[in-house]
């Protein structure tokens, strides 16, 4: 606990020394910085003690191109157990803590589920006192800020650092030098404290910022060649400027490859230098003390850089370096989509770091040798090769070298084993594992839904569930208690009122909190099938026009999603949804029944309002395509039924909470397997008038894309490109299931029981459980506390 006086003095002191203002004249962002620095000052000793303790034993490292952290202040105050004290102090100073929390920019360090998972994992590891260090890039700008203008997605820079960044410390003395064939740069570490819930252990997320070796070329500047004088600095800063630079052209591919090598090389050098400082130069012991997890293929070049450093700089033999690497690295596969199983043109690798390519050929040779010894013929060997057809296949490299390969949901792992990576599974059956994803209950319930948290605590009699989510099962005895169910639905309604108010503030759109909130929020991708949901809504629009008395509850359909700037079809879907919203709003009859809202710039802080304020969780990916999903778990934890396909973690959600409490529709993996060669979307288009009507709306002038060709492209995707995500095949099944939802929703008690069942059974999806499994089954690390660490 922090003393109130200490908090007040800290805020005043940091306002003075950082911003040169008194409290009465301070802006909200200045108070945010001062408060954050006050808390940071208070935890520094524990942070240093934790690091010192971890340095002495075995540690795990989580390497990820993304860490989608969200805002830090509220979460950190809650985990430290000082949220209420700070709130009281600020009230005494006439300051609203909520306003100060709202001024904080979401850290621009990630985009989708992969990055949010990484954030949940580092928080869980800290809560469990696990010696885990995160490594990533300190992007000076996030992916992009999304606006919706005339229904189109527009992008601008995400300047999340505009007010400074109070929650990180620059470690100038631990800079690493990174060499490319055409330039040399500095990797400057910024350490972010990862504060666990009710523990004194404080873990570290180390983020690398790229800077030039020299600020500018003085001689060029003196010769008045000003642009040339700073070009080397700009080129270096570009490397950590933006998350996932657009790589539709070669220049973007080169920048992205530089980016991956930059953070991989810096992290490997950092890990190796720490090992040498603590254990000396004998690398035979390295794997005893260190293990690294590659979060998808983005950091896979770390393997080659690690071997290069050991061989070239530490004079370890190649065979030994490869053996150490095989003990050191684990690999998480997040998707079966070919676009995400990275392949790099070896010309680019040779241009930027030729030595890495040489090492890759050596590793490839060792793999080929092993396969030949095992009797594989040359045809079979070709599919395993790390370098083939002039590309380096990063997943093959990660699987060959990794100590373990894991999928992130039961179905996903089975698909990897039986289909996508079947040749590898047969070669290394013992390497393959499943680690179903999880979410932290601290941010996704305790912080974002204090009303539901209090409800749970009151029923269970304590707050232990926050650190042991399986305790939610103890709520089951209340499943038929009318009073408890009524109170749950009161809270659900209160969160909808709050969400409606937030949407009014952010979008300028009024929605009715008494309507049914049907929400689909996630990255925009064709396989996630926002298009299917939109086509359904368009069909509903036509049906209401034909029958204004259609028996459905008043419904608000809410979408939130960013489309990658270079992903034309995804941007077309954004425009399509917004055109449907416009069509609905302009119709006096239909607009009384339904409303469509596309919220702009979907991000963690927006998600913290959307998940608690939901009635239905839309998880409608094409079966077999969604590795796991974690948004589905966040909805479930906030007592919301899932409406989804039999895909990803939906399967495990239904298994945990009962199919009768959720809504599963559509083709399954085995169904798709049977029809994939004979599938003809034009048959559905011809035979089903509802489908024909909504698909034709794309090209008959009903909806307007401003002549940009987006809607014609969507039309062609469905009919001329064989509808590769089975949107039309699942359309009628989707419609029937939604009718079932509307019917069930009328029975208030039945609906409340479905919501309650999802809440009671959400415990299995805690990221604490996932991290324990990684720790026990892949990393072999144990919780460690520095003296007196547990509260």
3-state secondary structure 609-678: HHCCCCCEEEECCCCCCCCCCCHHHHHHHCCCCEEECCCCCHHHHHHHHCHHHCEECCCCHHHHHHHCCC
Spatial CB neighbours of 312, under 8 Å, sequence gap ≥ 6: 355
The active-site residue, picked from 71, 145, 467, 523, is 523
Distances (CA, A) of 528 to 520, 570, 619, 725: 10, 10, 8, 9
Active-site residue, 568 included: no
Active-site residue, 138 included: no
Question: Which residues partner with 556 through β-bridges?
Answer: 517, 595
Helix (H, G, I), strand (E, B) or coil at 688: coil
Q: Nearest 5°: phi and psi at 408?
A: -120, 10
Q: How many CB atoms lie within 10 A of CB 288?
A: 12
Active-site residue, 528 included: yes
The active-site residue, picked from 258, 442, 528, 571, is 528
CA atoms within 13 A on the CB side of 480: 0
Spatial CB neighbours of 3, under 8 Å, sequence gap ≥ 6: none
Q: How open is the CA angle 729-732-737, to the nearest 5 degrees?
A: 120
C-alpha R_g of the chain: 27
Strands 202-212 and 132-137: parallel
CA atoms within 13 A on the CB side of 196: 29
Measured in whole angstroms, the distance separating CA 247 from the mean position of its chain's CA atoms is 20
Active-site residue, 298 included: no
Distances (CA, A) of 637 to 106, 109, 256, 439, 508: 22, 25, 36, 9, 29
Residue that has been written with the tokens 């409303």 in this structure? 595
Strands 391-393 and 387-388: antiparallel
Asked if 545 and 587 touch (Cβ cutoff 8 Å), the reply is yes
The active-site residue, picked from 634, 645, 735, 770, is 634
The active-site residue, picked from 186, 256, 269, 334, is 334
Active-site residue, 198 included: no
The active-site residue, picked from 38, 630, 645, 770, is 630
Residue that has been written with the tokens 């990180």 in this structure? 168
The active-site residue, picked from 522, 529, 571, 575, is 522
Helix (H, G, I), strand (E, B) or coil at 243: coil
What is the secondary structure of 42-60 as a DSSP string? HHHHHHHHHHHHHHTS-EE
Active-site residue, 571 included: no
Give first-to-last CA distance, the chain, whole Å. Answer: 11
Q: Which two tokens stand for residue 665?
A: 């529709």
Catalytic residues: 334, 522-523, 528, 630, 634
């Amino acid at each position: 606990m922090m003393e109130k006086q200490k908090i007040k003095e800290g805020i005043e002191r940091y306002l003075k020394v950082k911003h040169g203002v008194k409290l009465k004249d301070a802006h909200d962002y200045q108070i945010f910085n001062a408060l954050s620095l006050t808390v940071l000052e208070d935890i520094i000793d524990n942070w240093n003690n934790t690091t010192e303790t971890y340095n002495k034993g075995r540690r795990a490292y989580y390497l990820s191109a993304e860490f989608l952290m969200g805002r830090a202040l509220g979460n950190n105050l809650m985990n430290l157990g000082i949220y209420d004290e700070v709130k009281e102090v600020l009230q005494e100073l006439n300051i609203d803590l909520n306003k100060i929390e709202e001024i904080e920019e979401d850290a621009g360090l990630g985009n989708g589920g992969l990055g949010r998972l990484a954030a949940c994992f580092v928080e869980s590891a800290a809560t469990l006192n696990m010696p885990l260090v995160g490594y990533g890039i300190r992007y000076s700008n996030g992916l992009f800020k999304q606006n919706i203008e005339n229904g189109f997605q527009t992008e601008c820079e995400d300047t999340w650092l505009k007010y400074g960044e109070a929650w990180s410390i620059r470690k100038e003395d631990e800079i690493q030098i990174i060499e490319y064939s055409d330039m040399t740069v500095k990797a400057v570490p910024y350490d972010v404290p990862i504060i666990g819930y009710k523990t004194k252990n404080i873990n570290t997320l180390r983020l690398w910022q790229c800077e030039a070796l020299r600020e500018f070329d003085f001689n060029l500047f003196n010769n008045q060649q000003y642009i040339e004088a700073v070009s080397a600095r700009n080129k270096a800063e570009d490397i950590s400027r933006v998350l996932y630079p657009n790589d539709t052209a070669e220049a973007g591919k080169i920048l992205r490859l530089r980016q991956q090598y930059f953070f991989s090389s810096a992290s490997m050098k950092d890990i190796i230098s720490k090992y040498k400082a603590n254990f000396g130069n004998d690398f035979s012991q390295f794997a005893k003390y260190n293990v690294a997890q590659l979060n998808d293929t983005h950091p896979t070049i770390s393997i080659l850089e690690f071997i290069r450093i050991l061989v070239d700089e530490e004079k370890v033999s190649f065979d030994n370096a490869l053996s150490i690497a095989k003990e050191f690295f684990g690999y998480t596969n997040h998707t079966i989509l070919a676009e995400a199983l990275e392949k790099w043109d070896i010309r680019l690798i040779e241009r930027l770091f030729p030595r890495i390519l040489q090492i890759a050929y050596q590793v490839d040779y060792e793999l080929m040798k092993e396969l030949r010894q095992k009797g594989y013929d040359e045809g079979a060997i070709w599919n395993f090769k790390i370098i083939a057809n002039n590309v380096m296949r990063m997943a093959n490299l990660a699987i060959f070298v990794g100590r373990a390969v894991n999928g992130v949901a039961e179905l996903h792992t089975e698909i990897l084993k039986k289909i996508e990576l079947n040749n590898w599974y047969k070669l290394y059956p013992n390497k393959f594992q499943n680690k179903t994803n999880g979410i932290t209950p601290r941010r996704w319930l305790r912080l974002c839904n204090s009303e539901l948290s209090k409800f749970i605590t009151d029923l269970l009699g304590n707050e232990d569930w926050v650190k042991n989510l399986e305790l939610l099962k103890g709520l089951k005895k209340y499943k038929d208690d009318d009073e408890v169910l009524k109170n749950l639905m009161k809270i659900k309604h209160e969160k909808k009122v709050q969400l409606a108010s937030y949407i009014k503030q952010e979008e300028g759109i009024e929605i009715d909190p008494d309507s049914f909130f049907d929400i689909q929020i996630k990255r925009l991708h064709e396989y996630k099938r926002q298009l299917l949901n939109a086509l359904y809504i368009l069909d509903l629009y036509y049906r209401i026009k034909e029958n204004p008395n259609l028996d459905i509850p008043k419904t608000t359909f809410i979408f939130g999603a960013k489309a990658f700037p270079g992903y034309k079809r995804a941007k077309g879907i954004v425009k399509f949804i917004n055109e449907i919203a416009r069509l609905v709003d302009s119709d006096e009859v239909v607009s009384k029944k339904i409303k469509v809202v596309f919220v702009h710039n979907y991000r963690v802080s927006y998600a913290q309002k959307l998940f608690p304020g939901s009635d239905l969780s839309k998880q409608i990916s094409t079966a077999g395509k969604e590795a796991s999903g974690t948004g589905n778990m966040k909805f479930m934890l906030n007592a919301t039924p899932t409406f989804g396909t039999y895909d990803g973690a939906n399967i495990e959600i239904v298994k945990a909470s009962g199919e009768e409490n959720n809504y599963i529709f559509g083709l399954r993996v085995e169904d798709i397997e049977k029809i994939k060669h004979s599938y003809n979307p034009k048959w559905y288009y011809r035979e089903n008038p509802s489908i024909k009507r909504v698909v034709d709306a794309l090209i008959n002038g009903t909806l307007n894309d401003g002549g940009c060709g987006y809607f014609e492209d969507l039309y062609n995707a469905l009919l001329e490109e064989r509808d590769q995500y089975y949107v039309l095949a699942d359309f009628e099944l989707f419609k029937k299931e939604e009718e079932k939802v509307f019917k069930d929703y009328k029975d208030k008690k039945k609906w409340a029981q479905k919501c309650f069942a999802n809440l009671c059974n959400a415990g299995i999806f805690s990221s604490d459980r996932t991290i324990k499994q990684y720790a026990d089954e892949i990393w072999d690390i144990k919780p460690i506390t520095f003296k007196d660490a547990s509260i």
